[in-house]
Structure 1
Amino acid sequence: MSELFDAVDALLASRATLPPPAERKRLRAAHGLTIDEVAGALKVRRATVSGWEAGKTEPRPPERDAYARLLDKLAELYPVTPAPAAETAPALDAPVPATFTAVPAPAQGQPLPTEPASDGGEVSAPLEPQVPASDLARPPASATKSTSTSRRPGAKKAAPAGTPVGEGDPRFENGPLAVVDADADGQVVAYCVGGLVLDVPAKSLASLVEWTLAEAKLGQPKLSGPGRAADPLLVLTQAALERYGLPTELSAQERDAGRIPEAHKV
């Protein structure tokens, strides 16, 4: 008798109802299961489960019964949430009440009518505008205020926090690069993006590098998740090169190598 029951169970399992492929994937992901975990439990290959979720293939007994049982249990834990009913949009062709009562400012050289004629030819009461024409023609007070935030060239101070040059990253608020120059008195400054000028306290090339990496707040944030932030870029003028003991001209071999000679004192 048990053999007959097993045969009947096998027939039922071969016709077990399965949800659509997209729902199979949703139920697995909702429980935090991976394809490898499902494949290991059902003793099938990973590609087989992927084919079931993509709708390319359908499971067969005896895996079909076990897969249907798994999906039924997951459906009880994670039922489909019905979508909220859409709100009724207001009619676009509804009549618009006439609520505008202000009188526009008169054109240049045209007087404002104060005694319009009625339908019977009689002169009605003077028209009193609810908003004075002078107020309508007057520009808003905020438009007369100056919004200029430009800095004078040569201002030897760093930009305030929140300057948009560094893309909102406080580590690089002074921009990605600077041009370093020195005057006749030996004072060194760095010209940054947006007209910003920084004092450079470094007296040697080593201290210049240290200042650039630790205090100058120069650089560029990374462009993507796996990327890295860009190093700051310094461009030294001829006067700055002389100030820090660097050669102002390179030979053809040095230019090709992209570096100064190994025996240079710096």
Structure 2
Amino acid sequence: MRRFGSKLFILLALAVLAAGSLLHASLTGSGQTHLQKEDCNGCHLGGRDVTPQQAGMLLGSQEALCGKCHPAAIKVSHPSGFTPKGKIPETYPLDWKGDLTCSTCHEVHGKSPGLMRGEKAGKELCFSCHDQAFFRKMRDGGASLMVGHLAGNNSVNAASMDVYTRQCMECHGNNGDPRLNTKIDRNSVARHAGGQVNHPVGVDYQKAAAYGGYRPRKTVEKKILLPGGLVSCVSCHQGYQKDHGKLVVTVEYSKLCYECHDI
């Protein structure tokens, strides 16, 4: 997860549950739980002596802690680390600052699929906090946001695609509107609608950079997301935004291109 105005999913969080009693129950319950084998000192100020009462005292923000293991998802997911304007159901607790965080939706020491709180998912989960008017203002009616985190086990023809590109292709590869259709050919080239832009996806950036003409990966990743080191749809596009598909950097004067290409 990320701040709303800065950068879409993720899937799992690293920080403490907002409700101490739930934390204690999940840590002492039976079965394998998320982070069970991790050192408490990695997140909690209380370290091994963490208790339900002071479990909310963390070494950093939940976004920073979760991002250590889920960097891509933190950037491509529902906004996090902010105080919501509207009222949030008690089922989805805010942290001690009143902020919506990773643990608002995820039981980070749980063992349920996706560590989700409750049984709601997708569109039903969205309507727990948002009304239809919120989505009606968006160009796609909110369809792009109602998938949760932009990740999933979807398939496209190119086997090397990352999970974010696979999710994007679920809609853009079979969209009724030809202006939005994008095809990925057998050479892993994304061919946008109208043939306006063609660009490789699923390519290992580091290997490509070895041929020369590219900026160092560490420099690129300050702005460009490379999930698993691969060039992805979300390298250039911001998925989880009201302006869905917005470019991470303007194309004016080819600025976006020069984020990676050093020519």
TM norm. shorter chain > 0.5: no
User: Comparing both chains, which one has the higher relative contact order based on Cα–Cα distances under 8 Å and sequence gaps of 6 or more?
Assistant: 2
Give the alignment's TM-score, normalised by structure 1. Answer: 0.18
Structure whose residues are more often helix by fraction = 1
Give the alignment's TM-score, normalised by structure 2. Answer: 0.18
Could you say which structure has the larger radius of gyration? 1
